[in-house]
Amino acid sequence: MNCHDIRTALLAGETSQAIYDHITGCLDCRRWEPNTVSVHKSLASQSMWAEPPAGLEDSIVAAIMHSTETADAPPAVASSAEHWWEGRRMVAILGAVAAVTILLVGIFASQRGTEPDWSVALVGTDGAPGAVATVVGFNATSGDTRVIIETDGLDMAPEGFVYQLWFSKENGDVSAGTFVDASRVELSVGINRSEFPAVWVGLQPVGSDSASDAEALLVSAADKTLGDS
């Protein structure tokens, strides 16, 4: 399942081990999960769609008629209750609609055919012979880079381990995030790609945030050629 599938499933209220495994390894979907689940619960709430109490209309009319006769009198209780009830439902509905709109915009934006700003082909090391991957990036004006990695020939990460996408240069390494299912993952990293020549995927223990703990499984074809020479 990719990020689009996961977010659609969460919005529909679905739960499964596959969804849990994806969210565990995908930072973006972990950020989406609370709002998406909240939207589903709001839309499923019976109180949002409940009809007003019987006789409420007559009470409101009576209250309005009474208020025209006694302009200085405080608002009728029934009228206040109606305003509260309508306001509560409208706030809930508008909030849910806004959240759904944001979710759908994000999903469709991730699916549109925007050309990436850069791409890197990765090949498997001795730790993952035959595996290949493509990493593409979409540079954002905010400084963050949206990254999509698609792999072939790389199984799910073993229990207790995660894959991690690294960007490296001579004096430092930056992680774009961890994942368990490497088939297709969307990540975000706050770097300028041109400053980090090396892009690679490592396997490391859960909870480790150091590149030195990672076993390099996928590296760029150029890096592998240099290492084999």
Q: What is the full per-residue pLDDT of the chain (229 aa) written as tens digits?
A: 777 777 777 777 787 888 878 878 887 777 777 777 666 666 666 555 556 666 666 776 677 666 656 655 555 554 555 555 555 555 555 455 455 545 544 544 444 446 888 999 999 999 999 999 999 998 877 677 889 999 999 999 999 999 999 999 988 999 999 999 989 999 989 888 888 989 999 999 998 889 999 999 999 876 554 444 3
Residues 21 and 103 in one domain: yes
d(CA 16, CA 101): 25
Q: Which of 77, 112, 147 is where one domain is finished?
A: 112
Residues 51 and 94 in one domain: yes
- What pLDDT shows up at residue 228? 47
Calculate ∠ Cα 134-228-225, nearest 5°.
40
Strand 132-139's sheet: what is its strand order? 172-179, 161-169, 198-205, 215-220, 118-124, 132-139, 145-152, 184-189
Residues 148 and 221 in one domain: yes
Report the Cα 105 to chain-centroid distance in Å.
Answer: 12
**For the residues of 201-219, what is the DSSP string, one character each?**
EEEEETT---GGGPEEEEE
Q: How many structural domains are present in the chain?
A: 2
- What pLDDT shows up at residue 108? 44
Residues 133 and 66 in one domain: no
Residues 76 and 142 in one domain: no
Residues 90 and 158 in one domain: no
Residues 126 and 104 in one domain: no
- What pLDDT shows up at residue 72? 53
Say what the pTM is. Answer: 0.51
- Torsion angle defined by CA atoms of residues 57, 62, 66 and 68, in that order, rounded to the nearest 10 degrees: 60
- Residue 89: both structure tokens together: 């439902």
- What pLDDT shows up at residue 159? 94
Q: Write the CB contacts of 161 (distance below 8 Å, at least 6 apart in sequence).
A: 203, 204, 205, 206
Residues 60 and 82 sit within 8 Å (Cβ to Cβ): yes
Residues 39 and 13 sit within 8 Å (Cβ to Cβ): no
Q: What amino acid is encoded at 168 in this protein?
A: S
- What pLDDT shows up at residue 11? 72
Residues 132 and 223 in one domain: yes
Q: Which domain holds residue 166?
A: 118-228
Could you say which DSSP state residue 193 is in?
A: G
Kindly report the number of other CB atoms within 10 A of residue 47's CB atom.
10
Residues 104 and 180 in one domain: no
